[in-house]
Amino acid sequence: MAYAGLDTFLKGEPRDPDDLDDVDVAVFGVPYDGAVSNRPGARYGPGTIREASAWWAYLSEYKGALTNMRTGEQVDFDAFTVADVGDAPVFPMDHEATAESVTAHAATLAARAFPVMLGGDHYCTFPAFRGFLEGADHERVGFVQIDAHTDTVSESPVFGTDFHGSSTARIAELPGVDYDSVSQVGIRGYESPDFFEFAEETGLNLFTMRDVEERGIGPVVADAVEAAAQETDAVYVTFDIDAVDPGFAPGTGTPCPGGLTSGQALETMEVLGAHDAVGAVDLMEVAPRYDATEGTERLAAYLLVTFLERKFAR
């Protein structure tokens, strides 16, 4: 039953990070929210996403091959194997030690399987991306960020250079990464006064919510991932749950009105999962205590299930 047994992602077998030779997808959690600037609680995200994912594991076991009623396609979750390696060690009062731990975990997994990270606040994407770059032995990696916020703050007078609002800025400083291979989708709210000039000067591929509303989510995401894949060896995808409108996903630390619908979020993962260049994915900033309905973590799990279905099970 979905509610019985260990809470691993999609009821995947618990494995050691070094024991993944026969595994397609390796999942790890980062229960850390020491780098947030608003409401804490994302430390509880990995556990609740795992618990919510059990429903799809139950369905696939109970019904065998499934029909995806959104796409009309037949999918077989037995076509790929998932292992859950548990959580990377975190150090609540030490973001540098936490970052080193996340990098080591991501690098170990990336050398052996397709890595999936469950967050945790969005700062953790920076060390995970760094680990993917190292472990997969790529020279250039593109970055697709589905998010309400750009996370391009170089330095904050309050939070310094390393917090969840600086993760993309830190990624863009890594060897093998340039802003012209970074794509951002769903951006809204407020940024610095000269942000559009910054995007133009750096080559950042910026797709705001207005672009989504005018063009549709499918074409926007397709353009975003193509831009990130141009002249890179692979693409890392990060999905901040606050990209989704808080009416659909209130369980997050920095909610912002006017975001993606659940349907648009699912279509986003359909497009990304189908692209051959994508080599890693994470799902960040789920803070379940702000959603009494448990709907946010269910959506987060469904987004990852949708992505993996398109990547491995079609």
Does residue 3 lie within any of the structural domains?
no
Reduced to 3 states (helix: H, G, I; strand: E, B; else coil), residue 69 is coil
pLDDT for 171-192, tens place per residue? 999 998 999 999 999 999 999 9
> Which residue reads 């996340």 in tokens?
102
For residue 144, being part of any structural domain is answered with yes
Report the pLDDT value the prediction gives residue 62, as an integer from 0 to 100: 65
- Does 1 fall in a domain? no
Give the confidence band of 64 by pLDDT, cuts at 50, 70, 90.
confident
| Position with higher pLDDT, 250 vs 154 | 250
* Whether 277 contacts 229, CB under 8 Å: yes
Determine if residue 21 is labeled as part of a ligand binding site. no
224 located within any domain: yes
Does 92 reside within a domain? yes
Model confidence pLDDT, tens digit, residues 194-205: 999 999 999 999
**Any idea what the Cα angle at residue 239 is, between residues 160 and 289, rounded to 5°?**
75
Sign of the C-alpha dihedral computed for residues 285, 76, 1 and 87 taken in this order: negative
Residues 36-52, mean pLDDT to the nearest whole number = 96
Residue 76 annotated as lining a ligand binding site: no
Q: Say how far apart CA 242 and CA 30 lie, in whole Å.
A: 18
Structural domain harbouring 114: 9-313
Contact present, 268 and 216 (Cβ < 8 Å): no
Give CA separation, 252 vs 43, 100, 102, 202, in Å: 11, 25, 21, 29
What is the gyration radius of the CA atoms in the chain, in angstroms? 18
What is the DSSP secondary structure assignment for residue 313, as one 8-state letter?
Answer: I
For range 222-240, the mean pLDDT: 98
147 is in an annotated binding site: yes
Residue 87 labelled as part of a binding site: no
What one-letter code names the amino acid at 150? T
Angstrom distances, CA of residue 234 to CA of 129, 145, 182: 11, 14, 12
- Burial class for 190, CB neighbours closer than 10 Å (0-12, 13-18, 19+): exposed
| Amino acid present at 10 | L
Counting the structural domains of the chain, the total is 1
CB-based contacts of 232, cutoff 8 Å, min separation 6:
138, 140, 141, 142, 181, 277
- On whether residue 2 sits in a domain, the answer given is no
16 is annotated as contributing to ligand binding:
no
CATH number at residue 140: 3.40.800.10
Q: Is the peptide bond before 120 cis (omega within 30 degrees of 0)?
A: yes
Q: What angle do CA 165, 147, 82 make, to 5 degrees?
A: 105
Q: How confident is the model at residue 2 (pLDDT cuts 50, 70, 90)?
A: confident
To the question of whether residue 211 is assigned a binding role by annotation, the answer is no
Mean pLDDT of 278-287: 98
Tell me the pTM: 0.96
Asked if 56 and 308 touch (Cβ cutoff 8 Å), the reply is no
Q: Inter-axis angle of helices 125-135 and 95-110, to 10 degrees?
A: 40
